[in-house]
Structure 1
Amino acid sequence: MSLDLQPAAASHDPLASELLQSVVDVARAIFGAQASSVFLLEEEAGELVFQAVSGRGQDFLIGRRFPAGRGIAGWVAVSGEPMVVDDLTAHSSFDRSLAESTEYVPDALMAAPLIHDGRVLGVLEVLDPAEQARSSLPELDLLSLFARQAATALRFAVRQQLVMEEDDLGLPSRRRAEATRLLSELGSLLG
């Protein structure tokens, strides 16, 4: 079974979309941020795609694309390393024109890669987190752990969708029962 984690797969899967929205909502709440977003990396196109947004921009950014190497989210996707920037006006990786195109220019941000099996799937970004969350190594570690959990859950959600699609093609009900059990266990862990 091929596990397609491209943005198209996540955007057409209601479970993956709901999961990603939950991730950005929780990240925004944890860090007292003005906004939070998840970008998925579309490797073939070399782009990051907004897949979920909480707060500023949530009504119009989903599906918006930009080059994967551009801005801080692009740097995080390329490097695979998390980053916290307290003053974006003084940071060379910050792409102000890109931020202006989203109709929200933050003063500070935190970003962590969504990594699974050593592969960067995308980026979790938190914009204008509360003062106490900035420049704190424990807070960056927390964001990185949360991003790792999100990547694992996303991979599971997409795998679940593929299992269900195969089951609809007449595969044994044993696989459906196993997928339903795994989904229930994930729900218990996340909720």
Structure 2
Amino acid sequence: MVIKNKDKNIVREGPQTSGHEALLLHVVDGINRTLQLKEVLRKCMEAAKVVMNSEASSLMLLDELTGDLNVSIPTGPVKDEIMGMAVPKSKGIGGWVISYNQPFISNDVVESDIFWKDLSTGFTTRNIICVPLQDNEGQAFGVLQAINKKDEQMFVNEDVPVFESLALHVASAIERSKKFDEVERKLEERDAHILDIHRQLNDNLSAIADLLEFDLDEIIDLNSRKALHATHSRIKSMMNVQSLLSEETDIATINLSQYLALVTTQVEKLYENTEDDVRLSLRFEEVQLDANKSMFCGLILNELLNMAYKNASTSREIGEVVVSLKQTSKDKIVVIVTDNGRNTEVSTKRSQGNKTPESVIENLAKKLGAEVSFTHNPEIGSTGILSFHS
């Protein structure tokens, strides 16, 4: 180890680091628990001052663009004044340490030919210990320094390994924080890109839905209109997912109850101009769900609702459709659609092996990894139950 010092009064014996090891372990533990760079730097400065029992401390980081050393979150009586100041890399003790990548001690800085100047007229540097901050390749990217040992004491050579040990953890924490910030930046860029894709997809689906609406006005055949209505409704269900995703801060999940409410509103509009009097009731719990699973859940609900509306229109009295959403445990979600209709047409077709809305639902349920069941009772009505794990 090379310690630059030209002072005659340097103290080379008599280590005054009693208890430093335990204190160092404590502050290092606090540093290693922190990921945010600003908080890391603040902890570093407090740790440097406490470990070295000094009046002030500072951490200076090398600006790759200007080549200057920038004072980052200093401590001490003039910290607010010198915060953010720049020191030329060719000047001062910090410049010497980062240039030569070696520690430095001086107990009489005025007499040192390396000392540049005090950054504030309100503070006089008496003695100093300064060590480099090194990256994984051993290159210095900043310096850590403690200034003015308290109680008129002096820094000793034995302080250097203690301070270098702290600097090692500080440098590691800073490098880790930079990587963390870089990952966060890339994730934000990715999320912005994905959101843009969702918006574009939503625009494309909207254009298709508008074209289908235009075609509906031209179609006279009743069965063809029903088929086109069903396709239009499914596209709208997918649009609602894209619309919610573009609004969510967490694009991986959406509010399932909010999404399913949009689906039910869309289906309700399809039947509001018919002669059938059907009332819709929702009983939803708040549930967050993966966006892809939510889309399949919405498509299935769209089919269940169309079945329920058709059944409810055959009720002896006013038709009723009730949709329930609940989370029975941490990962089990259940959607229940009931109606009070008397229609048995669907189950009859099913018994003959023809393709039915129920078979469509079962195919969608397989993609969701869900279980689905149906009951039909001409006296009570029909119920469809969808259950799956989030």
TM-score category (smaller protein): 0.7 to 0.9
- Tell me how far 1:133 sits from its aligned partner: 5.7
List runs of 5+ in structure 1 lacking aligned partners: 1-13, 174-191
Alpha-carbon spacing, 1:170–1:43, altered in 2? closer, same or farther (3 Å): closer
- Tell me how far 1:30 sits from its aligned partner: 1.1
1:76 corresponding residue in structure 2: 97
- Let me know the Cα RMSD of the aligned residues: 2.2
Alpha-carbon spacing, 1:100–1:150, altered in 2? closer, same or farther (3 Å): closer
2:172 corresponding residue in structure 1: 152
**For 1:128, what is the secondary structure of its paired residue?**
strand
Is the Cα contact below 8 Å between 2:130 and 2:146 reproduced in 1?
yes
Is the Cα contact below 8 Å between 1:113 and 1:121 reproduced in 2?
yes
Is the Cα contact below 8 Å between 2:82 and 2:120 reproduced in 1?
no
Is the Cα contact below 8 Å between 1:36 and 1:54 reproduced in 2?
yes
Alpha-carbon spacing, 1:106–1:39, altered in 2? closer, same or farther (3 Å): same
Question: May I ask how many residue pairs the two structures share in their alignment?
Answer: 157
Is the Cα contact below 8 Å between 1:73 and 1:111 reproduced in 2?
yes
- Tell me how far 1:56 sits from its aligned partner: 2.4
CA distance in 2 between partners of 1:19 and 1:77 (Å): 21
Residue number among 82, 90, 94 corresponding to 2:115 in the alignment:
94
**For 1:107, what is the secondary structure of its paired residue?**
coil
CA distance in 2 between partners of 1:170 and 1:29 (Å): 41
Is it true that 1:17 corresponds to 2:38 in the alignment?
yes
**For 2:124, what is the secondary structure of its paired residue?**
coil
- 2:123 maps to amino acid: Y
Residue number among 130, 154, 169 corresponding to 1:111 in the alignment:
130
Is the Cα contact below 8 Å between 1:133 and 1:139 reproduced in 2?
no
Residue number among 12, 30, 34 corresponding to 2:51 in the alignment:
30
CA distance in 1 between partners of 2:46 and 2:121 (Å): 18
| Superposed structure 1 runs of 4+ greater than 6 Å apart | none
Aligned residues: percent identity?
24
List runs of 5+ in structure 2 lacking aligned partners: 1-34, 192-249, 251-390
- Tell me how far 1:91 sits from its aligned partner: 1.1
Is it true that 1:61 corresponds to 2:120 in the alignment?
no
CA distance in 1 between partners of 2:83 and 2:119 (Å): 16
Flag the structure with larger Rg: 2
TM-score relative to the length of structure 1: 0.75
Determine which structure has greater relative contact order: mean sequence separation of CA pairs < 8 Å that are 6+ residues apart, divided by chain length: 1
- 1:164 maps to amino acid: E
Residue number among 61, 66, 69 corresponding to 1:40 in the alignment:
61
- 1:118 maps to amino acid: G
2:148 corresponding residue in structure 1: 128
Alpha-carbon spacing, 1:102–1:77, altered in 2? closer, same or farther (3 Å): farther
Alpha-carbon spacing, 1:43–1:133, altered in 2? closer, same or farther (3 Å): same
Tell me the alpha carbon deviations over residues 92-116 of structure 1, each in whole angstroms, 9 at most, x when there is no partner.
1111xx3154632211000000111
- Tell me how far 1:44 sits from its aligned partner: 2.9
- Tell me how far 1:170 sits from its aligned partner: 3.2
CA distance in 2 between partners of 1:73 and 1:114 (Å): 11
